[in-house]
Structure 1
């Protein structure tokens, strides 16, 4: 009886397989087709059965560190991103056209595999698919590379709906504990972060005697003030301002120190500049910093009590209140912007690195220049509207073509870019936890660009060498990616510039039409836009239609 049942089952399987085979043959073998549900189940089952039991139970032998994770990211970019995308989403020119499709590595189908299973797939590849073997699994170098990739793949997992629900609940019940509490478990990251501008935007000169850079007695542009009158020092990289406290509010002194040029300059936001300037009296001592500054320079500024959980851009500004996570660390009770979708991830930065205004204004009779009520994990668009722009009109905030015209507008620029539309995030390039590179970049500027835009890359450029693409000698200023794609379009104070974050090449013709500075004549100051346009026309790889 049992034998008959087995034979019957086998017969049914053979009939189904034959029927499915006939269907496939009639349908054709186009790689553009979507695999059927049956194919997906069968393929995953066969793949999983092909992984030895001993491999499944393997644990990652490498201890995760920021440096190791960066190595994993680099290897992923070089070896895997062509099919899987730079962040594992699979949205590339190759991945969706494979059969089976390159999986989205951030989703549970991959993330629920064990470390050993992911390691085995990376090392050995998958037959009859586009997944190649990494290399020789018996070579320690290749094996370590595979384990580093496992760590990186784990780091890009998306927040699950269950974790998102837990985070929402946690945000309403947890409280802020301060960045110093995070140091206990994240000492290495904390040590880097505390040296960054983010951690030192606002400092109390009584706690930090070295905070005030100049001799206040040399102030020659406004009524003098003394150290005793300075409640907070703001900034110190390019410029430094000084806040005095009156009652429970802070107010900016009318003088600022130009760090770059080592001189005093007046500080006053004139009418006709920032949108809120005309709505406050023309006197710094009647313009409290709570509505205009403090929401971005602190964690959880309370507009009723005017108290903060922590001054400066602390850990919980980006990760949310941490008390539940401190008590029992899980991925579900703390926000990690790196595991969010690209819109929410970028909003973590755009909330402060943009010019705009709250959707509701005024709020309790005051005009706020930051998104009151927003915290990471919410939808920024429900609280904040980016400064509007009319094409062809030059304003205080925008050039006529829409490029940002002043500082703190990286977000306004970035959301217009192809990079943003392709899912690139601010922290694909910047590491807010701190690096030794300019602007907290993950790598030196050209290197971080060329990770995704190396010569011959499908992302461009198409030329064989960087020099052929830039038409400038290697190592020269003109050979830097940012020289052309992030030109210095505005001066904030002499020697300090605003760099465009649209990443678009601004042609000399755009300068003629919209008066936006272009990178060619910004460097070659002795030349004209006509000269620059003519030079571009003679670049053999550049379309003559794209110099307009």
Structure 2
């Protein structure tokens, strides 16, 4: 059994995945026969005219479109775009739109535009490159300026780079389509390296949120749904998603509006709990600043979960009209529907006060500084011209920014001043303000630098019930080896926390402890009702070497492999998945399987130096210096500046 995970991704033994997950696959197949069928958004229009009218012009409806006269207006008239040795020419031949790309390596190819992602402020070309692959082209159309621009002008992306537009990280099937389509299935074949992706409809249609509509039509047309026909739970109107419940509706939004790891092959059945379909990203370096502000593109949900508004029960629909996606009010009125002297009876804990006034904003009424969002929702540009606001709704803390070197709302406008100046100004304006309170960002920043030295602080933050659940979960996730210095029972107590993300964080911490002591907690996590927690426990169990596996844990190893295998079989086109399997294979002692997985990881992403380093080392041990040297030459061809690889070459 310990060698089973190492066999999962061997080129000739993919059947091991099916064997490990046959029961799960059978259950999924059975369920697929018993859920209502999708009927398409047009079946909804005649009865729901107002909702349909709002939806048809929304970013959701136009998230993915086939080329038409209403898009790319002014483009494909012979324009030539050049960047970093690459040249793209945009022409029209009949009804087809053609991109001729001369790459910086001198190879020229012609592509027909398959479809278009997005509507404004940019339109993104999706090109077919063979084997069912759809790729997101890096040169995009600025709708307002009517001009082409490159999404990543400062990056050197030759054709062999995984981040080149034709590489794994720009693959539309795996990285984008799920959130731009309805009823999407990726359908990647690991053996042939082909995609056979399908969807019910391109664009985010009615059923993407409400669920398949066949049962609803039966109720409307026939008066009732035949008893027992569907095994999945449906609401009174025949839908799998209960959009009338604010929290369930928000989780439906979060499935796409979040940075997360997906467990399935495409869109989960609407109504599936978020943590049963995804693992939400922690506030980790590279994604968020240490104080929780957005850094990379994290798609809102992780930011919003840090906010007091989230804790008070505010949801997306309180500010956004669900079908159009537009704000329900303009300017400061979107905030004063709650934050005012009158308040909002739906949120009785709000402090009643006047906020839309110079007395509060300290800025002129019609100025930029007088807008609530300028101070409480700083924006940042992604994809060249697409501004996104941070949904943390934070109180400006220039004092924290001064300590942690993070973005500061004050000095964004007052660019001639620094955060220390801004902190003094805030203190003068609000002598009893929230700036006097400790901020979790300070603890997370210290935890990022040295988790062992700050283990006590991280633990205290995780135990602070007044903090947002995602902050508490991140504190646990950051513990790492620092978890060894903490009380085991106190760590295990987090497995009773009502928030699944906190339980995931606890298991990340517990995997650092000796399995002989942590086994009861790992077993508890493996049998959790929530899938994200079970997978976290499975990873913790699979990371235990056989020599140190306590007898109490051994009966659960197969269950852990099955839980992990059911997920990883949907990620075989991700280099990260193969790298994980390689690690578990090494723990299990199956070195040939680890090498096979590492080879696949570097095939998908030749810039993954961690995989190359492990591959060279294992090859040297098992195949000899000549084999290791061959891998090292290839590694350096793709990563000539990597110092570790260069040192390895000097030592061979």
| Number of residue pairs aligned between Structure 1 and Structure 2 | 356
- How far residue 401 of structure 1 moved from its aligned partner, in angstroms, is 1.4
* 2:400 matched residue in structure 1: 510
Structure 2: gaps spanning 5 or more residues: 1-29, 92-96, 99-111, 188-195, 225-235, 344-348, 440-652
For residue 250 of structure 1, what is the aligned residue in structure 2?
Answer: 134
Alignment of 1:425 with 2:327, yes or no, is: no
Greater mean deviation of Cα atoms: 510-519 or 261-270 = 261-270
Distance in 2 (alpha carbons) for counterparts of 1:418 and 1:511: 20
Whether contact under 8 Å (1:319, 1:336) holds in the other structure is: yes
Aligned-partner SS, 2:387: strand
Mapped to 2, the partners of 1:407 and 1:195 lie a distance apart of: 24
Counterpart in the other structure of 1:357: 261
In structure 1, distance between residues paired with 2:431 and 2:283:
34
Q: Per-residue displacement from partner, 1:170-227 (whole Å, max 9, x unpaired)?
A: 993311111111001101110111011111111111xx22211342332413432441
Is the CA contact (8 Å cut-off) linking 1:461 and 1:469 kept in structure 2? no
Other structure's SS at 2:382 match: strand
* 1:534 paired residue among 424, 434, 441: 424
Q: Are 1:309 and 2:200 an aligned pair? A: yes
Q: 2:372 aligns with which of 481, 491, 500?
A: 481
1:250–1:545 distance in 2 versus 1, CA, 3 Å:
same
Q: What's the CA shift string for 1:324-354, capped at 9, x where partnerless?
A: 1122138341245442251x22111111111
Matches within 5 A, 1:258-273: 258-267=142-151
Partners in 2 of 1:224 and 1:528 — Cα distance? 45
Quote how far apart the aligned CAs of 1:236 are. Answer: 2.7
Secondary structure of the residue aligned to 2:81 is: coil
- Structure 1: state its 5+ residue gaps: 1-167, 364-371
2:124 aligned with 1:241, yes or no? yes
Of the candidates 248, 252, 267, which is equivalent to residue 348 of structure 1?
Answer: 252
Q: SS state of the match for residue 339, structure 1?
A: coil
TM-score by length of 2: 0.50
TM-score (ref. length: structure 1): 0.59
Answer whether contact 2:75 2:146 (CA < 8 A) is retained.
Answer: no
Quick check: which has more Rg, 1 or 2? 1
Q: Structure 1 residue 224 and structure 2 residue 128: aligned?
A: no
Are the counterparts in 2 of residues 238 and 260 from structure 1 also a CA contact under 8 Å? yes
Over 3 Å counting, the alpha-carbon distance change for 1:316 and 1:188 in structure 2 is same
Aligned twin of 1:381: 275
Relative contact order higher in (CA < 8 Å, ≥ 6 apart): 2
Q: Please name the residue that 1:18 is paired with.
A: none
Answer yes or no: is 1:499 the counterpart of 2:389: yes
Q: 2:330 matched to 1:444?
A: yes
> Retained in 2: the 8 A contact 1:241–1:256?
yes
**1:285 lines up with 2:132 in the alignment:** no
How far the C-alpha of 1:259 sits from its partner, in A, is: 3.4
Contact 2:210–2:240 (8 Å) recurs in 1: yes
SS in 2 for 1:302: coil
Distance 1:519 1:424 in 2: 23
Over 3 Å counting, the alpha-carbon distance change for 1:335 and 1:467 in structure 2 is farther
Per-residue deviation, residues 141-196 of structure 1 (Å, max 9, x unmatched): xxxxxxxxxxxxxxxxxxxxxxxxxxx99993311111111001101110111011
> Using a 3 Å threshold, how does the CA distance of structure 1 residues 494 and 169 change in structure 2: closer, same or farther?
closer
Secondary structure of residue in 2 paired with 1:537: helix
For residues 172 and 321 of structure 2, what CA distance do their matches in structure 1 show?
28
Partners of 1:465 and 1:200 lie apart in 2 by 35
Cα deviation code 1:263-282 (max 9, x no counterpart): 42224699999xxxx99844
**Are the aligned partners of 1:297 and 1:312 in contact in 2 as well (CA < 8 Å)?**
yes
- Residues 516, 340 of structure 1: alpha-carbon distance in 2 compared, 3 angstrom cutoff: same
Equivalent residue number for residue 415 of structure 2: 525
After TM superposition, the structure 1 stretch with the greater mean CA deviation from structure 2, 406-415 or 247-256, is 247-256
User: Counterpart of 2:73?
Assistant: 213
Q: Give the 3-state SS of the residue equivalent to 2:123 in structure 1.
A: strand
Q: Note the 1:25-174 alignment, pairs <5 A.
A: 172-174=34-36
Using the alignment, how far apart are the partners of 1:169 and 1:283 within structure 2? 38
RMSD: 3.3
1:524–1:283 Cα change, 3 Å = closer
Q: Which residue of 2 aligns with 1:197?
A: 59
The Cα shift of 1:409 comes to 2.1
Contact 1:318 1:376 in 2 (8 A): yes
CA contact (8 A) 1:319 1:334 kept: yes
Q: C-alpha separation between the residues in 2 aligned to 1:255 and 1:197?
A: 20
**Alignment partner, residue 334 of structure 1:** 239
Aligned to 1:151: none
Alpha-carbon shift at residue 461 of structure 1 (Å): 6.0
SS at match of 2:199: coil
Whether the 8 Å CA contact 1:406–1:498 is kept in 2: the answer is no
Query: How far is the alpha carbon of 1:382 from its aligned partner?
Result: 1.8
- Distance in 1 separating the partners of 2:363 and 2:351: 17
Provide the rounded CA distance (Å) in 2 between the counterparts of 1:218 and 1:256: 13
- The answer to whether the 8 A contact 1:178-1:309 is kept is yes
In the TM superposition, what is the alpha-carbon distance from 1:515 to its structure 2 partner?
Answer: 2.5
Paired residues of 1:171 and 1:321 also in contact (CA < 8 A): no
